[in-house]
């Protein structure tokens, strides 16, 4: 049986949770898809990231509870 998942992005022009669920065979398949989507978006995300800013994508289960999270953080490191 296929499981339903939703993507949620924290910032940027694609921010918000998807209205339509995606079906995946299992969590491993959902993770693979999530990493591929992030890889495709990474260039534009990194170019728009501000110092001390964060971009986050979450994969939510059918109850909209987080299952996985990938985040990109721009940290200012004091010297």
Strand pairing category for 16-17 and 22-24: unpaired
Q: Which residue has the tokens 């299992």?
A: 26
Residue 58's beta-bridge partner residues? 8, 69
CA dihedral 68, 40, 17, 12 (to 10 degrees): 120
Summarised one tens digit per residue, pLDDT across range 43-58 is: 888 888 899 999 999 9
Nearest Cα to 52, choosing from 23, 79, 73, 25? Answer: 73
Q: What is the pLDDT along the chain (79 residues), one digit of tens a residue?
A: 889 999 998 876 666 777 899 999 999 999 999 999 999 988 888 888 899 999 999 999 999 999 999 999 999 988 7
- For 47, other C-beta atoms within 10 Å of its C-beta total 7
Locate the domains of the chain by residue range: 3-73
Threshold 0.85, pTM exceeds: no
């Amino acid at each position: 049986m296929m499981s339903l998942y939703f993507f949620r992005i924290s910032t940027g022009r694609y921010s918000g949770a998807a209205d339509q669920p995606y079906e995946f065979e299992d969590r491993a398949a959902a993770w693979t898809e999530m990493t591929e989507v992030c890889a495709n978006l990474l260039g534009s995300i990194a170019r728009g990231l501000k110092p001390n800013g964060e971009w986050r994508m979450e994969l939510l289960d059918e109850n909209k509870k987080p299952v996985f999270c990938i985040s990109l953080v721009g940290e200012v490191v004091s010297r």
